[in-house]
Amino acid sequence: MKISKEIIIGLLVLLALVLLFWGMNFLKGKNFLSQERVFYGVYSNIEGLVKTNPVVINGLNVGQVKDMYFDPAGNNRVIVEFLVTNEVGIPKNSVARIYSSDLLGSKAVEIRLGNSDAFAQTGDTLITDVELSLKEEVNRQVQPLKRKAEDLMLSIDSVITVVQYIFNRATRENLNRSFESIANTFDNIESTTYSVDTLMTAQKKRIERILSNIESITMNLNNNQENFNHIISNLSALSDSLARARISETLISTSNAMSEVATIVNRINSGEGSLGLLVNNDSLYIELEKSARDLNLLLEDIRNNPKKYVKFSVF
């Protein structure tokens, strides 16, 4: 059977079209000869990600971004389809992270493999994350420094205000007077030190004698330590003797005696007994005084007129 030229040309054109379609898709990252898997990720912001951006695992390109569209649920989230042509196993807790692949800001999706024993299957939704942009990262790093700088500026401003308040004219004058007083104090200290040094030099021998006497006293105290021990022992024995003495009973007897004396004095004051009558009766005192006066007159008369009372006879 002879094949016509038209059929051969048609087959060649069809083959060329197939090769062209496969080549264009291959250049886009699609390989119809390998097994493809599709995974999904939900993002609140895709940070400039576009279709055909690469999908990498550990730096190896394993696929590309197939499609992006808003969530039909209407929550303003973006659903991204990842086309993975590599047969590498992807654990279910792996993270699909959008990051900047170069300094120009080109985006890519990095799948950070998790440690789960269960693997994701085509059509599963992965955990998502977005790398901070260079601007956001710089702001995040600089923000604490900015806050510290602001706090530092406020502190410096407060310190300057306090310094300006402290170092006013009156304070400066007080400081000058204080420095002058300090200088005078140092001069007085220097003068005192010189005087003490002169005194020590002049009284050196006397101080040496005083120290020698103190040393001698210390040696005597050390040598007579046994005598001091005896004295302390004697004092202890004396205190024991006093403790054993019947001091309380003696004090009780003394108290009783004083009570009896007080009773006797009360009886005398009340006029009881001879002594009470003598103390309290004025007439007895007057009679005694009169008798004493008469006796004095009698003695005076005897001394002046002895013959009146004594007679001598001679045979």
- Chain segment 233-242, per-residue pLDDT in tens: 888 777 776 6
pLDDT at 110: 92
Among 131, 160, 183, the domain-final residue is: 131
CATH number, residue 56: 2.40.30
Look at residue 191 and tell me if it is in a domain: no
Look at residue 58 and tell me if it is in a domain: yes
Look at residue 153 and tell me if it is in a domain: no
Instruction: Tell the residue number behind the tokens 């040598």, with chain if given.
Output: 223
pLDDT at 314: 46
How far, in Å, are 68, 88, 129, 226 from residue 81 at the CA level?
Answer: 6, 18, 15, 108
pLDDT at 232: 83
Instruction: Tell me: do 9 and 79 sit in the same domain.
Output: no
pLDDT at 30: 57
Instruction: Tell me: do 11 and 38 sit in the same domain.
Output: no
What would the pLDDT profile of 42-93 be if each residue is shown by its tens digit? 999 888 888 889 999 998 999 889 899 998 888 889 999 988 988 888 999 9
Instruction: Tell me: do 77 and 39 sit in the same domain.
Output: yes
pLDDT at 17: 87
Among 97, 131, 165, the domain-final residue is: 131
Instruction: Tell me: do 74 and 127 sit in the same domain.
Output: yes
Instruction: Tell me: do 64 and 96 sit in the same domain.
Output: yes
80 φ/ψ angles, rounded to the nearest 5 degrees: -115, 130
Q: Quick one: three-class SS letters along 195-262?
A: HHHHHHHHCHHHHHHHHHHHHHHHHHHHHCHHHHHHHHHHHHHHHHHHHHCCHHHHHHHHHHHHHHHH
Look at residue 73 and tell me if it is in a domain: yes
Which residue positions in the chain have pLDDT lower than 50?
312, 314-315
Q: How many domains does the chain have?
A: 3
Look at residue 16 and tell me if it is in a domain: yes
Q: Enter the tokens of residue 59.
A: 């730096």
Instruction: Tell me: do 52 and 65 sit in the same domain.
Output: yes
Instruction: Tell me: do 26 and 72 sit in the same domain.
Output: no
Instruction: Tell me: do 39 and 20 sit in the same domain.
Output: no
Instruction: Tell me: do 46 and 101 sit in the same domain.
Output: yes
pLDDT at 315: 44
Instruction: Tell me: do 90 and 113 sit in the same domain.
Output: yes
Look at residue 247 and tell me if it is in a domain: no
Instruction: Tell me: do 59 and 81 sit in the same domain.
Output: yes
pLDDT at 111: 92
Among 90, 111, 131, the domain-final residue is: 131
What domain range includes position 8? 1-33
Look at residue 200 and tell me if it is in a domain: no
Instruction: Tell me: do 4 and 49 sit in the same domain.
Output: no
Look at residue 115 and tell me if it is in a domain: yes
Cα-based angle 258, 263, 265 (whole degrees, multiple of 5): 95
pTM of the full structure: 0.38
Helices (H), 1-93: 5-27
pLDDT at 14: 86
